[in-house]
Structures are given as structure tokens and as C-alpha cells.
């Protein structure tokens, strides 16, 4: 495979996409709402109308507005139909030729849900067929890999990522280029690349959607990273609860190998890179990088102390670079458009965009990508449409079980790493759950603490025993048996667990409790046991 052949494949694919195209979302969310039947009905309606030569029905990835699924987009008319049923198919096809209106409801593309987004990671999501490498190539796919391999030195690739300001999108926000540089400078006979796709946060579906919608983008980002740091083997560690993502990754890897875009002498260069999948069994702690590596090696997934860090001592003792799905998905666009382009988006310390999964008590649930620094209020009230049925926002929980609950008075806070940390929360991988006035914050804190207790690997005492004791105190509060001193004990216990646990699970597990104690303490106090009135004899 050379650049000429790559461009020819893309041009041939684009020529075959002339005419009208019906893009049907076949990501997991829409499939659960009968999208496959919608796609089949559209195909049948197109054939019956004699339009098979001029109208294409294509299955694509996530179109974003999950609350409106199943979704069908029409090109080039730029129409998006929501909550489409199989029965709507004949009228949608008839509307293409002016033979009547479509019965399906049209989504408003002028709504802030769409207009406020800046797609980088999601630029192909919902536009290309995730099971056709030709469609990805037609969208300029694998050209950044060619540019990196044939026109840049590994050090130049790393410098580009450093100058872009990209920070890891998996939670901590460590500078991506600096992490790459650490792995690159270590001398070793072998190095590994790992994509952490073990997305276990309740309410999070960002990585799943990217893998289902644009798997080649992640493979390309991993290959560029491997070239930059000197690795020849990659692993994607994906949770077993994501069968569709796994299937599409397997297809993408097979297709890339067939075109020599993975394997040996990629783009006729000396670079070799192989990618394999490893399927996780659902342990939340395996999202922690050292536990994840243990699981890949066939061991029990439990964290180990650091240092040494994976950059020096990772898989089987060799230097290992670990980034998550969204981080790798940013790489092709940065190589294609340049570091300066990316660095102009976002804030001074948080560059680029962030993908969020909007869930909970909000009208427009779904997947969005916004510039770093976008206020929470813009995301929740404008893009998300606020709480359904006239309700009001009480809090926004960001970062999954590792994050905190942000009160409504802080909704003007910009979404970036430092601002969320100042509120006692984190960005995490991008889960964002909206909580309304009907929810009690003690119950919210208890839900996340129970999750963390159940998911603790039990290796270190602070997490194993501490999460259980925190949950016990929350139950005591909820049952009306606690006194004021118990809230102080709860606060102290959370701080101890946070400061002394071995890995990120225990270190962040108290965040929902600490943040709700900080912002919603009256709700805790309302459950406290009432003092006994003095007896008449006294």
C-alpha cells in the first residue's frame, strides 16, 4: 500500500456515494430501539420505489441525539428524522421524490445541541459506515499515518503532540506528549501500546460510541503513537459488555491488515505494528492502568504500587504506553491539521475538545463534543434542554464514581480539568449525569459508594475496609440512626481513604460523598436522629 493506492480507494468510494444517502444509526443505543428493523424497512421501501440506483441506505455510528433514536439522516438534504419506526420508512422514501411528507418527526439542526458542538473525535461519527474501511479512507483516513511514517521523524511526532497541548482524556489529564516522550526515551528491545477501553463508569458511553462508530480512527491513532515511541505491538483492552464495539474492532483490524495498514512494512516503511484485542470480564478496577496490564498478562486484575510506572516497567516488564480511546482518537486530526490548530481550541491549560455522555434527568440525552472551557450551564440547559417536564437541576455529577456532585449554583463553571477539580469533582472520561430536585443527594452518594465498595479489588485495607465503613455510615444516616458527630466521622473517613488508598479507585471513591457533604449538608442533617426530649422526672 502506498499513498497513491490509498487515495484511489478513497476517490472510488466517494464516487460511489453520489445521489441520496439515508444514514441510519446502528450504534448500540439506536439498535436497542429497533433501528435494524428501520434500516431493513428503508431498504425495502427504496427497492419498491425503484430507487435502488439513486438512493443508498447506509448503517452508520452514533448520530448523537440518543433520546431521539432511532435516527435517520438524509444527505444531501441535511435532514435528521428522530424516533423513526419501520412504518415511517415508505413516507421517508416518498418525501425524497416529493410524493408526500414524511411521517417521522424532524430534529432541529439549529438547536444548540448541534450548533454548540465542535467535532474532532466525533467528526466521522454518524457519517461513515464503521464496517467499511473504504468509507474511513474516503474521509481522509490513514493519510495522517502516512504523513507521520513517511514525512516525520518519531521525535517530530512527539513534539507535535506536546505542542498541541493534548491531555489524556481518561481522567487525570496528564499531558499526552510528555507521556509519549517518557516511553520513547527508554531503551528496550520491546515496547507496547495499550488502548484502555475499559469504560466502567455508570452512565458513561463515550468510548463505546467511538469504537462502534469510528474504530479505524482509534487504530490509526495507536499506530501513530507506536511509531513515535518505538513500539511494535498494541492491545485494545475492551470490556466484554460491549459486544458491538468488539465486533466492529475485529472487523476493522482484519480490514486494516488486509490493506497492509497494520502488520509489516506499513506504507512501505520499516515500521511494523500489530494490534490485538483483550476482552475484560467487567471488573471496574481494571480501568486502572496497572490492574489493566495485569489482566492483559493473564493475571488477576489488581493494582500495584507506582513507581515503577508503565512507561518504564509495563507489560511483561517492558515500557508500555497507555492512553484511552478518546486520546488516541484525537491523534489523526492533530497530525493532519497541526499542533497550532488544536491548541487554539479550548482554554490555556485544557486544549481541544471533550466528548461527554449526557444522561440522567435531561431532555436531550446523548453524545456531544464541545470545546474545553464550555460552561456547564451551556451544556446542561442549552444543549441538553434542561430537566424534562419543567423540573429544575439540583446537581450535575461528573466523572462517574470517581467524580463529585456539582450544585446548580456552580453551573457557570467552565468545563476544564482545573475548574472541576476546584469544585471537588473531576472530568474523568466524560460521564455527565444530571440530577433534579426529586433526587436526594444522600441516596446519590450511597449509590456510587456501594458501586465502589463492590468493585474494590480488596488488595489495600483503606479501600477494602474504608469503602465498607463509609457505606455503613451512609446507611446509618439514611436510616435516621446517625448523630451530628457521625457526619464529622464520615468526612474524616473519606479523607483518609482518599489519601491512603493504593490506586485511583480508592483515592477517588469518596468524591461523591465529600462533594455532597460540602454542598448538600442540610440533606444529611435532615436524616439525623432527633434528640430525646427530657423526661418529666428530670
pLDDT digits (tens, 9 = 90+) for 177-217: 999 999 999 999 999 999 999 988 888 889 999 999 999 99
Place of cell 418529666: 536
* Secondary structure of residue 460 in the 3-state scheme: coil
Outline where 314-440 has alpha helix (H): 325-337, 339-343, 376-377, 417-422
Rounded percentage of the chain residues whose pLDDT exceeds 70? 99
pLDDT over 60 at 538, yes or no = no
Phi, psi of 129 (to 5 degrees): -80, 115
Reported as a single tens digit per residue, the pLDDT across 331-378 is: 999 999 999 999 999 999 999 999 999 999 999 999 999 999 999 999
Q: Cell numbers for 102, please give them.
A: 414524511
- What is 463-530 written as a DSSP string? HHHHHHHHHHHHHHHHTT---HHHHHHHHHHHHHHHHH-SSHHHHHTTHHHHHHHHH-HHHHHTTSPP
* Secondary structure of residue 356 in the 3-state scheme: strand
Question: pTM value?
Answer: 0.94
Give every CB contact of residue 7 below 8 A, 6+ residues apart in sequence.
none
Q: Are 199 and 208 in contact (CB under 8 A)?
A: yes
- What is 7-23 written as a DSSP string? HHHHHHHHHTT-SEEEE
* Secondary structure of residue 422 in the 3-state scheme: helix
Across 299-328, average pLDDT:
94
Give every CB contact of residue 18 below 8 A, 6+ residues apart in sequence.
none
In the structure, what pLDDT confidence band is assigned to residue 283 with cuts at 50, 70 and 90? confident
Rounding to the nearest 10 degrees, give the CA dihedral for residues 172, 182, 149, 245: -30
Q: Is the dihedral of CA 285, 290, 294, 296 positive or negative?
A: positive
Rounded percentage of the chain residues whose pLDDT exceeds 90? 85
HSE-CB for 335 with a 13 A CA cutoff: 33
- What is 160-210 written as a DSSP string? HHHHHT-B-TTSS--BHHHHHHHHHHS--S--EEEEEE---STT--HHHHH
pLDDT over 90 at 408, yes or no = yes
Reported as a single tens digit per residue, the pLDDT across 86-121 is: 999 999 999 998 898 999 999 998 899 999 999 999
Q: Cell numbers for 166, please give them.
A: 493534548
What is the per-residue pLDDT for 305?
87
Reported as a single tens digit per residue, the pLDDT across 154-184 is: 999 999 999 999 999 987 789 999 999 999 9
What is the per-residue pLDDT for 534?
63
In the structure, what pLDDT confidence band is assigned to residue 535 with cuts at 50, 70 and 90? low
Rg (CA), the chain: 25
In angstroms, what CA-CA distances link 70 with 106, 140, 239, 271, 320? 12, 28, 25, 42, 40
The single-letter DSSP state of residue 284 is G
* Burial readout 394-428 (b: 16 or more C-beta within 10 A, e: otherwise): bbbbbbbbbbbbbbbebbebbbbbebbeebbbbbb
Reported as a single tens digit per residue, the pLDDT across 32-65 is: 999 999 999 999 999 999 998 899 999 999 999 9
Q: What is the mean pLDDT of the chain?
A: 93
Reported as a single tens digit per residue, the pLDDT across 459-512 is: 999 999 999 999 999 999 999 999 999 999 999 999 999 999 999 889 999 999
Phi, psi of 402 (to 5 degrees): -90, -10
Amino acid at each position: 500500500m502506498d499513498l497513491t493506492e490509498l487515495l484511489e480507494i478513497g476517490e472510488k468510494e466517494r464516487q460511489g456515494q453520489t445521489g441520496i444517502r439515508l444514514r441510519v444509526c446502528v450504534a448500540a443505543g439506536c439498535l436497542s430501539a429497533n433501528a435494524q428493523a428501520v434500516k431493513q424497512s428503508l431498504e425495502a421501501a427504496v427497492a419498491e420505489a425503484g430507487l435502488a440506483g439513486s438512493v443508498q441506505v447506509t448503517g452508520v455510528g452514533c448520530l448523537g441525539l440518543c433520546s431521539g433514536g432511532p435516527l435517520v439522516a438524509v444527505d444531501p438534504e441535511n435532514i435528521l428524522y428522530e424516533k423513526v419506526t419501520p412504518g415511517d420508512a415508505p413516507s421517508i422514501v416518498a418525501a425524497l421524490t416529493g410524493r408526500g411528507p414524511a411521517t417521522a418527526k424532524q430534529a432541529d439542526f439549529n438547536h444548540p445541541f448541534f450548533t454548540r458542538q465542535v467535532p474532532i473525535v466525533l467528526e466521522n461519527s454518524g457519517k461513515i459506515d464503521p464496517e467499511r474501511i473504504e468509507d474511513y479512507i474516503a474521509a481522509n483516513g490513514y493519510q495522517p499515518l502516512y504523513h507521520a511514517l513517511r514525512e516525520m521523524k518519531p521525535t517530530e511526532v512527539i513534539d507535535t503532540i506536546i505542542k498541541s497541548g493534548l491531555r489524556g482524556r481518561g481522567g487525570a489529564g496528564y499531558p499526552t506528549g510528555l507521556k509519549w516522550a517518557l516511553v520513547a526515551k527508554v531503551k528496550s528491545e520491546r515496547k507496547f501500546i495499550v488502548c484502555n477501553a475499559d469504560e466502567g463508569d455508570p452512565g458513561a458511553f463515550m468510548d463505546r460510541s467511538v469504537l462502534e462508530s469510528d474504530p479505524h480512527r482509534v487504530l490509526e491513532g495507536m499506530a501513530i503513537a507506536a511509531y513515535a515511541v518505538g513500539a511494535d505491538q498494541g492491545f485494545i483492552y475492551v470490556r466484554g459488555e460491549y459486544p458491538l464495539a468488539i465486533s466492529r474492532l475485529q472487523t476493522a483490524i482484519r480490514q486494516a491488515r488486509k490493506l497492509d495498514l497494520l502488520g509489516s512494512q506499513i506504507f512501505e516503511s520499516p515500521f511494523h505494528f500489530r494490534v490485538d484485542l483483550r476482552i475484560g470480564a467487567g471488573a471496574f478496577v481494571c480501568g486502572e492502568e496497572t490492574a489493566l496490564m495485569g489482566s492483559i498478562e493473564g493475571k488477576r486484575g489488581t493494582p500495584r504500587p507506582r513507581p515503577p510506572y508503565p512507561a518504564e516497567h509495563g507489560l511483561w516488564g517492558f515500557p508500555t504506553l497507555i492512553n484511552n480511546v478518546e486520546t488516541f482518537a484525537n491523534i489523526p486530526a492533530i497530525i493532519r491539521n497541526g499542533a497550532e490548530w488544536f491548541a487554539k481550541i479550548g482554554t490555556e491549560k485544557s486544549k481541544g475538545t471533550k466528548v461527554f455522555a449526557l444522561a440522567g434527568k435531561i431532555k436531550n440525552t446523548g453524545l456531544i463534543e464541545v470545546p474545553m472551557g464550555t460552561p456547564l450551564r451551556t451544556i446542561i440547559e442549552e444543549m441538553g434542554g434542561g430537566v424534562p417536564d419543567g423540573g429544575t437541576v439540583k446537581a450535575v455529577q461528573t466523572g462517574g464514581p470517581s467524580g463529585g456532585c456539582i450544585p446548580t449554583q456552580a453551573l457557570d463553571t467552565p468545563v476544564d480539568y482545573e475548574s472541576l477539580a476546584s469544585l471537588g469533582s473531576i472530568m474523568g472520561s466524560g460521564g455527565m449525569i444530571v440530577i433534579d430536585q426529586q433526587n436526594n443527594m444522600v441516596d446519590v452518594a450511597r449509590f456510587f459508594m456501594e458501586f465502589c465498595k463492590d468493585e474494590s479489588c480488596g488488595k489495600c485495607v483503606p479501600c477494602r475496609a474504608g469503602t465498607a465503613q463509609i457505606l455503613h455510615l451512609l446507611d446509618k444516616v439514611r436510616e435516621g440512626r446517625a448523630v451530628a458527630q457521625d457526619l464529622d466521622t464520615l468526612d474524616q473517613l473519606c479523607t483518609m481513604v482518599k489519601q491512603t488508598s493504593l490506586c485511583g479507585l480508592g483515592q477517588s471513591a469518596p468524591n461523591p460523598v465529600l462533594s455532597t457533604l460540602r454542598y448538600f449538608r442540610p440533606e444529611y442533617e435532615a436524616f439525623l436522629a432527633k434528640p430525646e426530649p427530657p423526661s418529666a422526672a428530670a
